[in-house]
Structure 1
Amino acid sequence: MQLMKISSIPDYRLPSVGQIDPKTWVGKRLKQFLVLAWTIIALSTVFQSLLFWESTDQMFWNRTFIFPSVIWIVGLLLIFLLVLPGYFLIQKFTGFQKLMFFVAHCVLYSALYIALIVSLYGLFLRTANWSWYIDTANTIASEGLHNVIKNYLFLISIIFAFEYFKRKENLIREKEQVEKELLKAKHLALKAKLQPHFLFNTLNSIVALIEENGKKAEDSLISLSDLLRYSMDITPKQLIPIAEELNLLQKYLKIEKNRYEEQLEVKWEHRDQKTSFQLPALILQPIVENCIKHGFKGINRVLTITIFVDYTLKKIKIANNGNVLPKAPTYGTGIEIVKQRLDYHFGENFNFRLEQQDQWVVYEIQLV
């Protein structure tokens, strides 16, 4: 009895990579994809028969529907009982030994495939002629063995592809996780560096008040404790509304106003308060601290600090009319930490400027 040739499948080759756990979601998707691929192979056999055979007798029925059904059943059995288990077992070996096991695996697959195809097809045809089984097996082995091997390589290549993309995805995920941890560590380091800097400078202001005005010193300590309590609760990813940030800034300015009294004047200007945006907590305090620290140098008049917030443009402008900037201004520790924190949260989506505008030293932050 003449049999049609088994469908030919291209030989795709992909590099070997890490192993997929069959019990995971990826492993389940791999099994589903293998079943789909093998179903397409079986259906292609049906289409070939419909295209090239015009007879309507029993032999046509057998070639068109029975034989492809046998191919489908045998293929699925071998996928789950031999191809997948054998593949994962072979991954334990390396080099030439691994190659030899793949060759042996392919030979075993081909032998079992032909034997099961012939046996199951014979059962469907209800034939007891042993010579038929032998002749049919020889026909498939001589005329269709290359297609059997191609089918095997096709199935293996699917597993290779899944493992390749799984490893690539895992590497990307691990890289992102490492980057997040590094950013978190960097933020914590900045926070650890900022708190002593802030605490030291603020305590200096309070110490200066103790002998002059005990009540103001007490009020300043309360404001400082509120700020420290808040700063210790900050998490690396935390952003707060601009209104909350300005409230914290007012607590800090209360400390400085208690110290400098009438020598320090603070003006506020708000535009389009109907909208809002978020900033890292206590990001503005080092800027105002810098305005006071450097603004009072070399002047014998009132220091004015203006704080302008444009809620729509997400812009904050803090200016002081104190000591002018040098020709080549440099950032101190506090301002450098401000820039690094903005970079941590917003990447390239922010602008930071420090410049002299007439008699004003201007710090500007704008989120993009």
Structure 2
Amino acid sequence: MGKTPKHQPAEAWSGKPLLIGIGIMYAFIQLTTLTRVYALNYLDNLNSPSSEIIRDRLIATIVGLTFIYLIVTISRYFLRRNWPGFRIIVAHMLMVVPITFCWYFVFGRVALWFCQVFQDCEQNVDDLVYGYLLNANTLTMVYLLAVAVTYTYYYVRRDNENQLQQSKMETKVLQARMKMLRSQLHPHFLFNTLNSVNSLMDIDVKKAQVMIVDLADLLRKVLDWKDTQKVTLKDELSLLQRYVDIEKMRFSEDLSVDWEIDETVTDVKVPGLLLQPLVENAIHHGFSSDHLELQIKIAASRENGHLVLRVSDDGQGFLEEEKEAIFEQGTGLQNTRERLRTMYDKDFRFDVYNTHPGVISEVAIPIRKKE
């Protein structure tokens, strides 16, 4: 099989925490073994010096940690090679006996050498094979434990890294989607505003010129937000005021706009250009042959941990049978709903309903302390 992909970060294979963890576990095993050997020495009247017992356990710990490092290194090698599970199991089954035998052999020779140096224990050489068979179960269990902990550690780490990469990819996709939705608003907004300018050209050229200047300022601000998904409500209302001024210049006294803003929520972050489509929709659908004047009210308040934004008008409204399809009929409302869904998942509310006369568009989004 192939080696670990080059793009995988080197720190993904850092074994320091793993080795420390296994080392602590093995040291604890040797500590419990020390108490067992000491108890057996007392109960069987073996009269072995305490120094010998302690020294043997220290030697066993050092030699054991050396071989555990070897086992972990081999296991990591298999992981890098991306071997299939069956092949890894067979490889460990073939290696467990020779590695644990070498483990026992090295421990026995080192312990014997210390006996010869300190001359505080019997310098006899036990039968190597039978001595190994006597300790094979313990050595094999430690070998398997080291392998199991190693694979568990790295598979969990791999899973966490994959989740992190997936989260990053989802974030990039989300950002791309938000930019796409924002980019859809710009030409739609510009097209409708230019229509307003065009309508005014036949009535009052000077007002149309002033409107074009205001439109340039407005577009400059919109372009400043091209890479910003969220702005403060204060900035959103400031931009909306410029749009309202343009529309009031077009409709003159026929359009009036009232503001009811709770000052305690002006620092809350909201999606940029959230309110403009709602106001534009109210103007576009509010005027009719039966409603030659239009009053719009823009409100912002705090309710149950949410920022609630309302755009209401006293215009013609819509037919009840059109309610189900209202989000599919225009770019503004449809785009707004998709942006809210993308940014807040299910933690938002966006309703449009008749009030007879007029319509209310209401958005509720969570107030988050850190954004």
TM-score class, shorter-chain normalisation, is 0.7 to 0.9
Query: Which residue does the alignment assign to 1:28?
Result: 16
From 290, 294, 304, the counterpart of 1:299: 290
**Worse overlay, 62-71 or 160-169:** 62-71
Write out per-residue CA displacement over residues 303-336 of structure 1, whole angstroms, 9 at most, x where no aligned residue. Answer: 1111122246622211111112111321221111
Contact preservation (8 Å) 1:86, 1:105: no
Aligned with 2:92 (options 99, 102, 108): 102
Is residue 61 of structure 2 the alignment partner of residue 69 of structure 1? no
Report the equivalent of 1:90: 78
For 2:316 and 2:179, the matched residues in 1 are separated by 33
Structure 2, unpaired ranges of 5+: 367-371
Rounded Cα–Cα distance in structure 1 between residues aligned with 2:310 and 2:179: 27
Which residue of 103, 110, 118 maps to 2:108?
Answer: 118
Aligned pairs (5 A) from 1:132-171: 132-135=124-127, 137-171=128-162
**Would the aligned equivalents of 1:184 and 1:236 in 2 still touch at CA under 8 Å?**
no
Q: Does 1:39 align with 2:27?
A: yes
- Are the structure 2 counterparts of residues 235 and 212 from structure 1 closer, same or farther at C-alpha, using a change threshold of 3 Å? closer
CA shift in 2, pair 1:26/1:311, >3 Å: same
Structure 2 contact 214–246 (Cα < 8 Å) conserved: yes
**Alignment partners' CA distance in 2, 1:83 and 1:186:** 48
CA contact under 8 A between 1:272 and 1:311: conserved in structure 2? Answer: no
Residues 169-198 of structure 1: CA distance to partner in whole angstroms, max 9, x if unpaired? 122212212221221121122112111111
Residue 211 (structure 1) shift? 3.7
Distance in 2 (alpha carbons) for counterparts of 1:85 and 1:26: 11
After superposing the two structures, state which structure 1 stretch, 56-65 or 240-249, moved more: 56-65
Say which SS state the counterpart of residue 54 (structure 1) adopts.
helix
Residues 169, 273 of structure 1: alpha-carbon distance in 2 compared, 3 angstrom cutoff: closer
Report the counterpart of residue 315 of structure 1 in structure 2.
308
Q: Which runs of 5+ in 1 are unaligned?
A: 1-17
Once structures 1 and 2 are overlaid, which stretch shifts more, 324-333 or 241-250? 324-333
What's 2:274 paired with? Answer: 283
Q: Which moved more, 1:32-41 or 1:211-220?
A: 211-220
Q: Deviations over 1:239-268 (max 9, x none)?
A: 222111111111001111111111111111
Distance (whole Å) between structure 2 residues aligned to residue 21 and residue 234 of structure 1: 35
Tell me whether 178-187 or 285-294 shows the greater mean CA deviation. 178-187
2:315 is paired with a residue of what secondary structure? coil
- 1:203 aligned to 2:197? no
User: Equivalent residue for 2:319?
Assistant: 326
Q: 1:348 corresponds to which letter in structure 2?
A: K
Deviation at 1:60, TM superposition (A): 4.3
- Distance, in Å, in 1 between the alignment partners of 2:58 and 2:164 is 42
Q: Aligned equivalents of 2:217 and 2:363: distance in 1? A: 25
Per the TM alignment, residue 235 of structure 1 is displaced from its structure 2 partner at its CA by 5.5
Pick one of 336, 339, 348 that aligns with 1:341.
339
Q: Classify the secondary structure of the residue corresponding to 2:350.
A: strand
Counterparts in 2 of 1:46 and 1:166: CA distance versus 1, 3 Å: same
Secondary structure, aligned partner of 1:198: helix
1:253 aligned partner:
244
Separation (CA, whole Å) in 2 of partners of 1:275 and 1:195: 24
Question: In the superposition, relative to structure 1, how do residues 95 and 362 fare at CA in structure 2: closer, same or farther (>3 Å)?
Answer: closer
C-alpha contact 2:315 2:359 (8 A) present in aligned 1? yes
Paired residues of 1:53 and 1:60 also in contact (CA < 8 A)? no
Aligned to 2:42, the other structure's residue is in SS state coil
Q: TM-score, normalised by structure 1?
A: 0.85
Q: Distance in 1 between matches of 2:292 and 2:213?
A: 29
Give the alignment's TM-score, normalised by structure 2.
Answer: 0.85
CA displacement at 1:21 relative to structure 2: 7.9
Q: Following TM superposition, by how much is the alpha carbon of 1:214 offset from its aligned partner in structure 2, in angstroms?
A: 3.0
Partner of 2:362: 364
- Cα distance change on mapping 1:146 and 1:37 into 2, 3 Å: same
Name the counterpart of 2:353.
355
Structure-1 separation of matches of 2:269 and 2:39: 67
**Superposition RMSD on alpha carbons, in Å?**
2.8
What amino acid is aligned across from residue 244 of structure 1 in structure 2?
D
What residue number does 1:173 align with? 164
Equivalent residue letter for 1:88? R
Letter of the aligned partner of 1:157 in structure 2?
A
2:283 and 2:131 mapped to 1: Cα distance?
Answer: 91
Secondary structure of 1:323 counterpart? coil
CA contact (8 A) 2:12 2:157 kept: no
1:71 is matched by which residue type in structure 2?
A
Counterpart residue type for residue 361 of structure 1: V
